Chains A and B, each alone.
Chain A
Amino acid sequence: MSKDNQILEEFTSKEYEHGWSVDYEADEAPLGLNEDIIRWISAKKEEPEWLLDWRLKAFKTWEKMEEPNWANVKYPKLDLQKIRYYSAPKQKSKSKSLDEIDPELLKIYDRLGISLNEQKRLQGIAVDAVLDSVSVGTTFKETLSKLGIVFCSFSEAVKEHPDLVKKYLGSVVPSTDNYYASLNSAVFSDGSFCYIPKGVRCPMELSTYFRINAANTGQFERTLIVAEEGSYVSYLEGCTAPQRDENQLHAAVVEIYAAKDAEVKYSTVQNWFPGDKNGKGGIYNFVTKRGICAGDNSKISWTQVETGSAITWKYPSCILKGDNSIGEFYSVAVTNNYQQADTGTKMIHIGKNTRSRIVSKGISAGKSQNSYRGQVQVMKRATNARNFSQCDSLLMGDRCGAHTFPYIDIANSSAKVEHEATTSKIGEDQIFYCNQRGIATEDAVALIVNGYAKEVLNQLPMEFAVEAQKLLALTLEGSVG
């Protein structure tokens, strides 16, 4: 074994830090999936008739669909009848305010470093905490509501703002969109809802923290963000799950709607349990994320740092419908051990002078497989559309794989589309150079990897960027020398 590999070996053997779980009494649906389960979930959530109908319609569509198999990932098929579609911690009373949340649940979030106590929190970030199938609390709701901003759990939005939910639910990702999105539409249990009224700049970062705790349970949440004309919001998403031997399914849907002159920035630091170093267990992260720049001059920017999940299947996309609208996708995807990631984006240019930018940085270590899959589509009336894509791959060791699958589809001759791709190996020379200046190998790797991912990390809000840097180093710890 070469020295390079030895170092990689050490560097990739780091344990997952959020692998613990907590026992609490849960309110659960029976295992399995059928129409009755959907009715059960909908009744549990006291939903209006139209939403139940919407779910059932999605379920009927889904039943006729096939699980997609075009992604560059291999895994034993999940038995969807052996999954529980709803599991919620039993709360002593229905908590109306944060003070009434079961202290045991608050402890879970404290342990994750997410305090739901508004006084203790860093000013400037409001959190919606989703545990298994339900939201357990949302902070700073009142502060935000003074500006007319709605930030609450999806269930609450259905009750309090039915018209908004009805108008936008499924407007970007229809319930017939794809296998996992349709499944989500049928069984989704909770998630976050965010509405920024016309002309309002949201004064703090909004965030959702997803935690899966229960075993044999899938998490199916929906996030819906609506930014009205001239508004701005920056949204963060974080996630972790306990270390379990069996695979768990997370099939979420995120929809973003940006009206004229609106801007939405969506950042994710994904740290689901990736499976152990032999590839046992881990989350299947099959997620549909899409935003529409519906109005002129609007902008949607996705930034993701993907370090977790056994399998990632995720393509945050932008539909650039409004003239002069802008779509961005910045991604760092790290895979280690036996992780597999097939991730990228779609930029659909419909409006005139629309611009998109894709920066994807893959890092593969161990025996992992890391694929970028991206589509740039320029429609017939999208005069002067511009796209720039950059897809870089960094390999650590010689047993991992990096793949790039760009699809470019142009129907307007005025389009300018650029694609750049590089593949590099973390060099012994670079590491030796750092060593020679007194820097230990592990710190050298962290330095080089963070440097490589810098363009993406720079897009993250400050606190998140620091977290992400540490996470990158941690994920790869023990894997190079």
Chain B
Amino acid sequence: MLTIKNLHASIEGTPILRGINLEVKPGEVHAIMGPNGSGKSTLASVLAGREEYEVTQGEVTFKGKDLLELNPEERAREGVFLAFQYPVEIPGVSSTNFLRTAVNQVREYRGQEPLDAVKFLSLMKEKMKLVEIDQKLLSRSLNEGFSGGEKKRNEIFQMAILEPTLSILDETDSGLDIDALKVVANGVNQLKSAEKSTIVVTHYQRLLDYIIPDFVHVLFEGRIVKSGDKNLAMELEEKGYDWIKEEVANTAV
């Protein structure tokens, strides 16, 4: 589904990603871990098409298409979803109105009829249960005055509505208490299927207790320096990231 080959990216001339290789197959859950500043969020942003990042080398194919050739909205319509670490507020625009615009633009791209208000509302009702989100929240301005947990829940709710084939969760666990974390993880798990893949970007192992990854990759200084299964995450939780740094330093010598 997603193939990343030797991806290099920089921001304002500073290289952040320095040769990422990753293969994600349908149905898989990959966790990207790593210390602060290792390039985790940059990877998520580059995949979603954020313009501040300049791709200097490498290629990314998504469902056979050159992802880097597509603009951000085309990527979204093709099925790439980014759950933001810091979802923005859009005053005066309700979540409902926002999502309906999004859903119908995606549907138009896919050659489907737009959903009318009634059909859209029933879709919303169905998905609301997944993340236990209150309808009142959805009639409020998008993310405005939402608590950290509400914002993250709303991200997963949007994911449920838009039904992406590749979901990238960027530090979705940050700022969540354990109950909210469970709700969010539960939502993500219910959306899993054999066709859909997930990339979970996280600093801590905590979230991976609830969203079980098939693969865990450690990102350090813009490269994936170690890959393994969920046990790698446990090991990181126990020992921290320093031993990885040492290992990298030793290999370099």
Chain A positions within 8 Å of B, measured between CB atoms, are: 3, 427-430, 432-441, 443, 447-448, 450-455
Contacts and interface: CB of A to CB of B under 8 A. Distances in A.
Q: Which of B75, B101, B141 has the largest number of chain A CB atoms within 10 A?
A: B101
A452 B102 contact: no
A438 B48 CA distance: 11
A265 to B, nearest CB: 21
A435 B105 contact: no
Contacts of A437: 76, 98-99, 102, 158, 162
Given A3-B51, A432-B72, A438 B102 contact: yes
A435 B92 contact: no
Interface in B76-124: 76-77, 81-82, 84, 87-88, 90-93, 97-99, 101-103, 105-106, 109
B73 A451 contact: no
B158 A435 contact: no
B49 interface: yes
Task: Determine which residue in B71, B73, B88, B98 has the highest number of CB atoms from chain A within 10 A of its CB, and name it.
Answer: B73
Contacts of B98: 434, 437, 447
B226 interface: no
A454 B102 contact: no
A427 B92 CA distance: 15
Contacts of B65: none
Contact of A427 (B82, B88, B93, B106): B88
B72 A436 contact: yes
Interface string B191-206: 0000000000000000
A438 B76 contact: yes
A379 B172 CA distance: 56
A438 B109 contact: yes
B84 A433 contact: yes
Nearest to B158: A437
B162 A447 contact: no
A430 B90 CA distance: 7
Chain B, interface size category, equals 20 to 34
Given A439-B102, A441-B73, A451 B88 contact: no
Interface in B38-95: 48-51, 71-73, 75-77, 81-82, 84, 87-88, 90-93
A101 B25 CA distance: 72
Nearest to B101: A439
Contact of B50 (A432, A440, A447, A453): A432
A453 B141 CA distance: 13
A74 B72 CA distance: 41
14 contacts: A427-B88, A432-B50, A434-B102, A435-B71, A435-B73, A436-B75, A436-B76, A438-B76, A439-B73, A447-B90, A447-B98, A448-B90, A451-B90, A454-B92
A443 B73 CA distance: 11
Given A438-B102, A439-B101, A451 B91 contact: yes
Interface centre among A427, A432, A436, A453 (most CB of B within 10 A): A436
A438 to B, nearest CB: 4
Secondary structure of the B contact surface, majority rule: helix
**Most B CB atoms within 10 A — which of A3, A443, A453?**
A443
Contact of A436 (B48, B92, B109, B141): B48
A450 B97 CA distance: 11
Contacts of A443: 101, 105
Contacts of A429: 88
Contacts of B84: 433, 436
A450 B102 CA distance: 16
Contacts of A451: 90-93, 141
A452 B88 contact: no
B158 to A, nearest CB: 7
Contacts of B50: 432
Given A436-B73, A447-B97, A454-B92, 10 more contacts: A433-B84, A436-B72, A437-B98, A437-B102, A438-B102, A441-B73, A447-B93, A448-B90, A448-B93, A451-B93
A441 B73 CA distance: 8
A470 to B, nearest CB: 15
Nearest to B77: A438
B76 A430 contact: no
Contact of A439 (B48, B88, B105, B141): B105
A448 B101 CA distance: 12
Nearest to B143: A433
Nearest to B161: A437
Contacts of B51: 3, 428, 432
Contact of B49 (A433, A435, A440, A447): A435
Contact of B73 (A430, A440, A450, A453): A440
A434 B49 CA distance: 12
Contacts of B73: 435-436, 438-441
The 4 closest A-B pairs by CB, nearest first: A451-B92, A451-B93, A454-B92, A435-B72
B101 A447 contact: yes
Contacts of B162: 437-438
